[in-house]
């Protein structure tokens, strides 16, 4: 009896050791998409009233965990029975990301408001727009869903030669680490200004801590603007990378051109096509309603 228990414990220890190795490899392979995930979600989690930043971020984090809870079992089943469906889902998600990225670029270039909104600070509290907030949360979770698909597929691809239990646990660990890591860093970013105001108050506006506080307050808008640009670029690049790596014909397009330029071009072209199709659909619906 005792020997049987020890044998089971030994098997569990061997499995966990194997999972730790595979999880490390899978995390390394998803490092690039995690960086894009961070840029995209940091940009989406900013712009809220200070008192709503953490609740909104928590809502997005829960949505991200739910996304992975849905995606992981489906990915394991599809990989076992219909592997081609994984590529189809990924490519469709790529079109969504391309659309969102290009739409942001068009909005910035052609539809930007010339009125500068008042900055939200600790001294100028504002009432939260809960309707707009829910819309932004849903959009962030939808984008996270597509990015989560890619994270799951990449991590699953690194353990295809392993038993099903190892595959499932490895992908689950990478998914949890991705969510905790990305949204943990995002939480630190969006609370920079509050930390800065806190340092200024406690030091009464004098000394090195007050200087650090002022630096944090001044740095946040700059970081948010940078993240907005990087996040939009990441959406286009990720979508282009999805097309290049999952559509055989595109492997041979633009030979000799650096990969990231090819991916950028593919993402922009796909995004422009999607924006055109969506706008055309909206016009058709509008004309039908007016009749």
Task: Look up the pTM and report it.
Answer: 0.70
Bigger pLDDT: 238 vs 9:
238
> Quick one: DSSP state of residue 116?
P
Residue 43 CB-half CA count within 13 A: 22
CA distance 174 to 29: 10
Among 142-146, 161-165, 173-177, 207-211, the range scoring the smallest mean pLDDT is 161-165
Tokens of 87: 């590529």
Predicted confidence (pLDDT) per residue in 86-116, tens digit: 788 888 888 988 998 899 899 888 876 544 4
Query: Average pLDDT in the 113-130 region?
Result: 51
Angle between helices 207-246 and 164-190 (to 10 degrees): 140
Give the list of residues 6+ apart from residue 251 with CB closer than 8 angstroms, or none: 244
147: nearest Cα among 60, 24, 248, 25? 60
How far, in Å, are 66, 101, 154, 208, 286 from residue 105 at the CA level?
A: 29, 7, 28, 40, 24
What pLDDT does 231 receive? Answer: 78
Structure tokens at 209: 């801590």
Q: At what angle do helices 164-190 and 130-157 cross, to 10 degrees?
A: 140
Torsion of CA 135, 137, 139, 144, to 10 degrees: -170
Query: What is the number of domains present in the chain?
Result: 1
State residue 36's pLDDT score.
63
Q: Are 139 and 6 in contact (CB under 8 A)?
A: no
- 167 and 80 Cβ atoms separated by less than 8 Å: no
Predicted confidence (pLDDT) per residue in 194-251, tens digit: 888 888 888 887 888 888 888 888 888 888 788 778 878 888 888 888 888 888 888 7
Query: What's the domain range around 48?
Result: 2-290
pLDDT score of 16 more than 70: no
Average pLDDT, whole number, for the chain?
Answer: 79
Pick 32 or 78 by higher pLDDT: 78
Whether the CB-CB separation of 34 and 175 falls below 8 Å is answered with: no
Q: Is the pLDDT of residue 280 over 90?
A: yes
């Amino acid at each position: 009896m005792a020997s049987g228990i020890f044998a089971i414990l030994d098997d569990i220890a061997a499995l966990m050791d194997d999972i730790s190795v595979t999880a490390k490899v899978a995390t390394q392979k998803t490092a690039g998409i995690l960086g894009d995930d961070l840029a995209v979600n940091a940009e989406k989690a900013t712009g809220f009233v200070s008192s709503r930043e953490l609740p909104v971020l928590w809502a997005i984090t829960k949505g991200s965990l739910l996304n992975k809870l849905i995606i992981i079992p489906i990915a394991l089943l599809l990989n076992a029975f219909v592997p081609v469906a994984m590529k189809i889902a990924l490519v469709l998600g790529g079109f969504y990301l391309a659309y969102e990225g290009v739409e942001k670029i068009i909005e910035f270039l052609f539809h930007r408001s010339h009125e500068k909104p008042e900055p939200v600070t600790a001294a100028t509290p504002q009432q939260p727009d809960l309707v707009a907030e829910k819309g932004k949360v849903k959009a962030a979770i939808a984008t996270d869903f597509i990015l989560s698909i890619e994270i799951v597929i990449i991590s699953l691809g690194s353990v295809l030669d392993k038993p099903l239990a190892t595959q499932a646990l490895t992908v689950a660990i990478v998914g949890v680490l991705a969510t905790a890591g990305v949204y943990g860093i995002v939480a630190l970013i969006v609370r920079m200004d509050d930390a800065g105001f806190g340092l200024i108050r406690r030091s009464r506006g004098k000394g090195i801590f007050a200087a650090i506080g002022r630096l944090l307050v001044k740095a946040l808008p700059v970081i948010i603007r940078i993240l907005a640009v990087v996040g939009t670029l990441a959406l286009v690049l990720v979508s282009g990378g999805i097309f290049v790596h999952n559509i055989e014909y595109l492997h041979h397009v633009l030979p000799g051109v650096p990969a990231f330029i090819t991916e950028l071009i593919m993402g922009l072209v796909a995004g422009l096509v999607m924006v055109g199709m969506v706008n055309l659909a909206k016009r058709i619906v509008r004309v039908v309603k007016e009749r």
